[in-house]
Amino acid sequence: MTAAATRTGGLPARLARVFRLGVKELYSLRADPVLMALILYTFTFAVYSVSTGAKMEVENAAVAIVDEDRSMLSARIADAFMRPYFKPADAIGAGAVDRAMDKGAYVFVVEIPPKFEHDMIAGRSPEILLDIDATAMSQAGNGASYIQNIIQKEVVAAFPSLAGTERVSVVVRAKFNPNLKSTWFTAVMQVINNVTMLSVILSGAALIREREHGTIEHLLVMPVTPIEIMLAKIWSNGLVIVVAATLSLLIVVKGLLGVPVAGSLLLFVAAATIYQFSVTALGILIATFSSSMAQFGLIAMPLLIIMNLLSGSTTPMESMPRWLELVMQTISPAPHFVALSQAILYRGAGLGVIWPQLAILTAIGAAFFALAALRFRKALLAAG
Amino acid sequence: MTGPVISLSGVVHRYGTVAALDGIDLDVPAGVLAGLIGPDGVGKSTLLGLVAGVTRIQTGTVHVLDGDMERAAHRRAVCARIAYMPQGLGRNLYPTLSVKENLHFFARLFGQGSAEREARIAELSAATGLSPFLDRPAGKLSGGMKQKLGICAALIHDPDLLLLDEPTTGVDPLSRRQFWDLVERIRARRPGMSVLVATAYMDEAERFDWLAALNAGRVIASGAPADLRTRTGAATLEQAFVRLLPEGAGDAPLEVPPRMVTDGPPAIAAQGLTRRFGAFTAVDHVSFRIGKGEIFGFLGSNGCGKSTTMKMLTGLLPATDGTAELFGQPVDAGDMETRRRVGYMSQAFSLYAELTVRQNLDLHARLFRLDPAGIPGRIEEMLSRFDLSDVADARPESLPLGMRQRLQLAVALIHGPEILILDEPTSGVDPIARDGFWRTLIALSREEGVTIFLSTHFMNEAERCDRISLMHEGRVLAVGAPADLRAQHGCVPLEDVFIHVLEQAAGPAGVAAEAPPLHEVAAAPPRRFDLRRLWAYAWREMLEIRRDSARLAFALLGPALLMVTFGYGISFDVEDLAFAVYDQDQSAQSRQLIETFQGSRYFKEQRPITSPADLDRRMQEGDLQVAIEIPPDFGKNLLRGRAPEVAVWLDGAMPFRAETMRGYVTGLAQAYAADAARREAGREPAATLSITPRYRYNQAFLSANAIVPSVIMLMLALIPAITTALAVVKEKETGSIANFQSTPVTRVEFLLGKQLPYAAIATVSYVMLVLIALYVFDVPLKGSLAALTVGSIAYVLATTAFGLFVSSFVASQVAAIFATAIITIIPAVNFSGLMVPVSSLTGSGRMIGLAFPSAWYQPVTTGVFAKGLGFADVWPEICVLLLFCAGFLTAAVFSLKKRSA
């Protein structure tokens, strides 16, 4: 054996080992049908079903009408509620309102007073009461303004004289998502949440699997350093997820759901790769804290729920209390990735816009990696 | 008794395509100490499982204690007369429970009252010498003591038939001898008792009255040990066994050629090597020197520090104290050079099961940076040398154990190391394969001068080493050549030498006091339902949770932490929207319009927009959520009544937020128009329609008031279901499920016993969640607290029952966590009113929602919190929740199997 071959330092040699170990990691993943099925499921079916199923739009809202007028006008209003926003309105008696709303049978109840049409004609400004179940947060606010518009429209159609001359015309347009389709939002955010979830689970599980099978000991007695083992796990698991996420974005989100992607896909993939690094490092870090796969699950699951919910991918960051927003932005890479993905994918932002988030992502990732590397050897052997 | 106690005929048992038992006909005589011998994997455990009634009979008949084990009634009647100690040291014991608590648990399973339990525990612990250790957790006992505890647990109900599956594997020789003495004493006191023991140690079998030798799922011989020896003309039972095997006919005895002693520094040297884990000293000042080419054996029981010492030598574990040297150099974990000269084989099989034999060799060759050109040749060489060429492309998991051990050795040797460190390389391997393995080791040592450091608990392997070291509880008790040690201690078998030094080290103590004879109690047939057995599980579970901080934290803190997250995280409140104006008019009218927005609490003004490009850029960066573009001449046109057009741009990236903003903007524009009209005309506009919205239940329209009660619904489904699911599966994984299978406890008692503690913990979580709702999120509680509490208890009973149901069909804790989470989250989040009101759901979504308890509990939490409801309104939901609980429990009872496949 030559002297050069026996040396184990040297960057090319290190890279070769990291590559070799990573390839092994891919074999391991291929041999685990459960994880493969999980990846496939989350990036296809889960993205599709959540973004088409869990809509935050007002849809099929249940409405009831208490019609004490029984006039042409009130009948006209009752008929105006139509799908997809509303279910056809049910007529109920005035005495049934409280009970029906207590039961949660209707989100909205429109109460039309007696002599409504008559008063309208007489110019007496009658009042319609709109009861809103304000515990149905996703529909109550926007649904109420739809209903007010619908009633206005019907009344104006019946009494054109009421229309009055328009003094200012305010034209409201939404940029980046003109029809405000929630699918556009949910689908992409779902892909991002899945990237977070799978990166943590895959890399953590890969490490714990090695420990439970005793193979990690084997690696550690060979001329391989812990950093190399970690890097191998990061690049291989990261590669699988970035590829899966990109395919999901192209095939499921763009193709199947027809969501337009505004910005550069390449930039998104590059950013996702950096994000990968931070979340896979986090997965390894959690794995060093857990002694078994079950414990890993118990620690990882609440953490993942917190990371995804408080990342701005479900509700905007600015609705959180300021302190919580700051805490999340410091300890979690997710809010930064969500912000930059929204910028790239919805608003078509370029590198010039998103570089600060990229820099923070890299910093948080480096911190996770450093912590994991510190704990790696000690934790693995103590628990094994 | 005259007839056989156990009688099997035509028994075949398969796991998939592999036949573990392949046509067994066997009669085990009653009232004797009977044994099943054979190496690992020949079907001994399966046979005992069938006899104990914990394994389902596939083919053939099994008669035990004069009855057919296929009949459930007979199994129920005799299970209180059988005691079964499964394989794996202390596997059916609970490590976090103390000795006493373990024994109380087993006694309760047989429905014993408090006085009886105390008396029996005192008696048995005195007889086994465990009395001083009653308060020690079972997990902290030595192997020998665990074994004694195991036998105490088995004897707690005076069984007529005692089944012991490899009770002495991995235990030091002294403890083993004491164990057999204990069994003898117990048999002397209960002469009618039959005992059937499975063992892989042939030397132990000499003391049996009767034995059956098993190989490859068949009985190859049975009878008294002496008969077997004379029949085969062998001196020892091991030899007799080998001769009984079809391939063992013409085996040559193993010869160890003498070693050429060379000068030079020792290959391995340890000086005062010590390793502590916390307060526990695993290795205590161990010193030795191993010469080049020497075969050095480490002998000792499980947990005596052999593996820890080896790990320190390989650099896997840093030493707490002392030094270790390889080739005269101190061991350094970061020293890659030394690693290349050492080959290591760990105790358990530790190669990649997902790679083929060839890929495993290739990976290791490359990681050791062998010359790439030489790798294929080297792999072929190893494959042929270790006789693996035929299986080169197979995965290791499909290979028999002996072959896997050869592969491990081939991998450890691929880089041509000078030192081999082998941790119990032959445990579980049959005698013939073991001899083959040793031939290779001897050749390596004698022909290639490789230094071999190995650990074993087989005495005949120790005889083949150049020198051995006897280790016990972290200390080396004696070192020397086997022959020298024998001469020193005047003992002929090496095992006696070991026992001798152990006794010297331990002193005269440790001999159990002769206890009074056990009092006989007529064993009443077990009752169909017994609260004491239910309580046994509930009490045990509670003790275990209290001592498992990870699970306790998850169960108690998890809901609180997640509640805070959800409470803040799911918000439909849209406020503090950043807006800016591109005012190209700068008139009094345009400023009035802007003031309308400035006055709204929903909007926060940013610096004005200077150009269309500025507008685009700032919206793209996400700095602005709303941009208002006022055209030039806006004021002039307004005054002239030309209805100028104002463009408002919304950030549509987040549709819900944009939709709400649109509502705000429209409202403000209308207000502005009305204002302008008033200012202009100086009068109120003509009669208009007014629509008065009333936000009921949540006048302030705050997300927290609506979301927080729904989150309680989610939390009390997710966390209790997962923790309960883990509880049953954990017993499956650790093997203590055997206690459920082999004792009179029924499925209902077992499941309810498991459920109660978790339902209680979930009720505590409920109280915490309500307090968080009231005091952290300031959600007012408008309705009846009593109704909410009763409803919540019904709900956690339903969700914990759901956890039991899941755990009765999943096989691992990981599967339990993920399956429960996925099955729970989908209906609870999407179809139970958390996000979308149930009244808006249609079709399958509604069906899925209603088929799960959450959709029924949501009206209770939200109803009581926000709508001020009481019992009169929510009693139907509470009834449905209780029905769910009963339904899930029934399903769990039917899918939980009292016998395994």
> Do residues A238 and A279 both lie within one domain?
yes
β-pair partners for B900: B55
- Angstrom CA distances, B731 to A290, B91, B554, B585, B739, stand at 19, 10, 19, 77, 9
pLDDT at A267: 92
The span from the CA of A310 to the CA of B580, in Å, is 27
Query: Do the domain assignments include residue A353?
Result: yes
In a 3-state reduction of DSSP, which class is residue A162?
A: helix
Q: Does A349 touch chain B (CB under 8 A)?
A: yes
A256–chain B Cβ distance below 8 A for any pair: no
Q: What residues in B contact A377, CB-CB < 8 Å?
A: 333
CB within 8 A of A312, min separation 6: which ones? A335, A338, A339, A342
**Which strand (E) or helix (H) includes residue B504?**
helix B494-506
Is B694 an 8 Å CB contact of chain A?
A: yes
Same domain, A355 and A311: yes
Q: Which of B761, B787, B797 is nearest to B864 (CA)?
A: B787
> What pLDDT is stored for residue B519 in this prediction?
53
For chain B, which residues score pLDDT lower than 50?
Answer: 1, 249, 509-513, 515, 522
In a domain, A377, yes or no: yes
> What is the per-residue pLDDT for A382?
54
Rounded Cα–Cα distance for residues A31 and A33 (Å) = 6
B695: tokens are: 């936000």
Which residue, among B879, B881, B878, has the nearest Cα to B889 in the 3D structure?
B881
With CA atoms as reference, report the closest residue to B502 among B174, B890, B854: B174
Helix (H) or strand (E) holding B650: strand B645-651
pLDDT at A5: 39
CB A241 within 8 Å of CB A195 = yes
Do A86 and A126 belong together in one domain? yes
Half-sphere exposure of A318 (CA within 13 A, CB side): 15
> What's the gap in Å between the CA of B632 and the closest CA on chain A?
14
Rg of chain B in Å (alpha carbons) = 37
Domain match, A122 and A185 both: no
Q: By three-state DSSP, how is residue B138 classified?
A: helix
Looking at chain A from residue 138 to 167, which residues have their Cβ under 8 Å from any Cβ of chain B? 138-142, 144-145, 147-148, 151-152, 155, 162, 164-167
A171 with B660: Cβ contact below 8 A: no
Please name the residue of chain B whose CA is at the shortest distance from the CA of residue A312.
B569
Which residues in chain B (650-679) have CB-CB distances under 8 A to chain A?
650-660, 662-663, 665-667, 669, 672-673, 676-677
Same-domain pairing of A227 and A298: yes
A-contacting residues of B 811-830, CB under 8 Å?
A: 812-814, 816-818, 821, 829-830
Q: A190 CB near a chain B CB, below 8 Å?
A: no
Distances (CA, A) of B205 to B28, B631, B699: 15, 102, 82
A209 with A292: CB under 8 angstroms?
no
3-state secondary structure of B553: helix
Q: Identify whether A128 is part of a domain.
A: yes
pTM: 0.81
Phi, psi of B247 (to 5 degrees): -90, -5
Q: Does residue A321 sit within a domain?
A: yes
Domain-terminating residue out of A162, A193, A212: A162
Distance from CA of B397 to the nearest CA of A (A): 12
CA A369 to chain centre: 25
What are the tokens at A267? 């930039």
Interface of A with B in 32-91 (CB under 8 A): 32, 50, 53-57, 59-62, 87
Please list every residue in chain A whose beta carbon sits closer than 8 Å to the beta carbon of residue B562. Answer: 302, 305-306
Q: Which of A134, A162, A190 is the last residue of a domain?
A: A162
- Residues on chain B touching A102 (C-beta within 8 angstroms): 863, 867, 869, 873
Mean pLDDT within A63-78: 90
Whether B652 sits inside 8 A of A104 (CB atoms) is: no
Residue of chain A with shortest Cα separation from B675? A167
**Residue B859, both tokens:** 């009206």
Q: Are A229 and A20 in contact (CB under 8 A)?
A: no
As a whole number of angstroms, the distance between CA A337 and CA A314 comes to: 13
Q: How do strand B467-472 and strand B451-456 relate by DSSP bridges?
A: unpaired
Q: Are residues A204 and A96 in the same domain?
A: no
Residue with tokens 């150049």: B466
Cβ neighbors of B681 (< 8 A, separation 6 or more) are none
**A96-120 pLDDT per residue, tens:** 888 888 888 898 999 999 998 888 8
CA A158/CA A117 separation, integer angstroms: 10
Q: Domain of A140?
A: 63-162
Read off the CATH number of the domain in which A83 is found.
3.40.1710.10
Give, in degrees to the nearest 5, the angle at Cα B429 between B424 and B434: 85
Distance of alpha carbon B740 from the chain centroid: 18
Do residue A217 and residue A307 come from a single domain?
yes
Q: Which of B309, B260, B261 is nearest to B288 (CA)?
A: B309
Report the largest interatomic distance among the alpha carbons of chain B, rounded to a whole angstrom. Answer: 126
- Tell me the torsion sign for CA atoms B99, B101, B104, B105: negative
With an 8 Å Cβ cutoff, are A57 and B317 in contact?
A: no
Euclidean distance between CA atoms A338 and B741, whole angstroms: 51
Pairwise CA distance, residues A197 & A195, whole Å = 6
Determine the Cα angle at A343 with ends A339 and A346, to 5°. 120
Q: With an 8 Å Cβ cutoff, are B666 and A172 in contact? A: yes
Query: Under a CB-based contact definition with an 8 Å cutoff, are residues B314 and B346 in contact?
Result: no
CB contact under 8 A, B689 and A151: yes
CA dihedral (A92, A96, A98, A100) in degrees, to 10, reads -70
Quick check: is A77 in a domain?
yes
Is residue A172 domain-resident? no
When CB atoms are compared, the residue of A173, A294, A320 closest to B813 is A294
For A319-340, how does the pLDDT look when each residue is reduced to its tens digit (9 = 90+)?
A: 788 888 898 888 899 999 998 8
Q: Which residues pair with B582 in a beta bridge?
A: B629
Sort residue B272 into left (φ over 0), alpha (ψ -120 to 50) or beta: left
A368 Cα to chain B: minimum distance (Å):
22
**Residue B640: phi, psi to the nearest 5?**
-85, 0
Q: Taking CB atoms and an 8 Å limit, are B316 and A381 in contact across chains? A: yes
- Tell me the C-alpha distance between B64 and B465, whole Å: 45
Question: Using 50, 70 and 90 to split pLDDT, how confident is the model at A3?
Answer: very low
CA distance linking residue B317 with residue B308, whole number of Å: 8
Domain for residue A58, yes or no?
no
Contact check, Cβ <8 Å, B550/A221 = no
Q: Is the ipTM of this complex over 0.90?
A: no
Both structure tokens of B819 = 């399956």
The verdict on A203 and A323 lying in the same domain is yes
Cα–Cα distance for residue pair A237/B744, rounded to 1 Å:
48
Q: Do B673 and A168 touch (CB under 8 A)?
A: yes
DSSP codes of every residue in B835-886: SS-GGG--HHHHHHHHTSTHHHHHHHHHHHHHH---HHHHHHHHHHHHHHHH
Contacts of B565 in chain A (CB under 8 A): 305-306, 309-310
- Neighboring chain A residues of B840 at a CB cutoff of 8 Å: 59-62, 87, 107, 139
Which residues 699-738 in chain B show a CB within 8 A of chain A? 699, 701, 703, 705-707, 709, 722, 726, 730
Where helices occur in B253-387 by DSSP H, the ranges are 306-314, 336-339, 357-367, 375-385
Contact B124, B186 (CB under 8 A): no
User: A90 with A192, same domain?
Assistant: no
- Residue by residue, DSSP assigns B1-25 as --SEEEEEEEEEEEETTEEEEEEEE
User: Same structural domain for residues A45 and A72?
Assistant: no
Asked, for residue A108, whether it belongs to a domain, the answer is yes
DSSP letter, residue A89:
P
Instruction: Please tell me the distance from the alpha carbon of residue A325 to that of residue B385, in angstroms, as a whole number.
Output: 64
Tokens 């330092």 sit on residue:
A9
Domain identity same for A158 and A194: no
Tokens of A309: 């919910």
CB pairs under 8 A between A and B: 381
Query: Which of B351, B369, B873 is closest, CB to CB, to A8?
Result: B369
| A327 in B contact zone (CB under 8 Å) | no
Partners of B656 on chain A (C-beta within 8 Å) are 56-57, 138, 142, 182, 185, 315
Look at residues A162, A189, A205 and tell me which one is the last residue of a structural domain.
Answer: A162
Per the omega criterion (within 30 degrees of 0), is the bond before B400 cis? no
Are A242 and A313 found together in one domain? yes
The residues, ordered by sequence, that sit 6+ positions from B510 with a Cβ below 8 Å of its Cβ are B129, B178
User: How many structural domains compose chain A?
Assistant: 2
Q: Which tokens belong to B562?
A: 């997640």
As a whole number of angstroms, the distance between CA B515 and CA B131 comes to 12
Q: Give me the percent of chain A exceeding a pLDDT of 70.
A: 93
Kindly identify which residue of chain B lies nearest to residue A354, measuring between CA atoms: B621
Yes or no, beta carbons of A297 and B351 under 8 Å apart: no
Regarding predicted confidence, which is higher, A290 or B785? B785
Q: Which of A59, A162, A174 sits opposite B658 (nearest CB)?
A: A174
Chain B CB contacts of A37 below 8 Å:
none
Interface touch B653/A57, C-beta < 8 Å: no
pLDDT value at residue B507: 60
**Taking the alpha carbons of A188, A192, A195, A198 in that order, is the dihedral positive or negative?**
negative
Q: Which of B686, B627, B637, B661 is nearest to A168 (CA)?
A: B637
For A346, the closest of B653, B660, B730 (CB atoms) is B653
Distance CA B467, CA B298 (A): 9
Q: What does the alpha-carbon distance between residue B258 and residue A199 come to, in Å, rounded to a whole number?
A: 57
**pLDDT tens sequence across A147-182:** 888 888 888 888 776 655 556 777 888 878 777 777
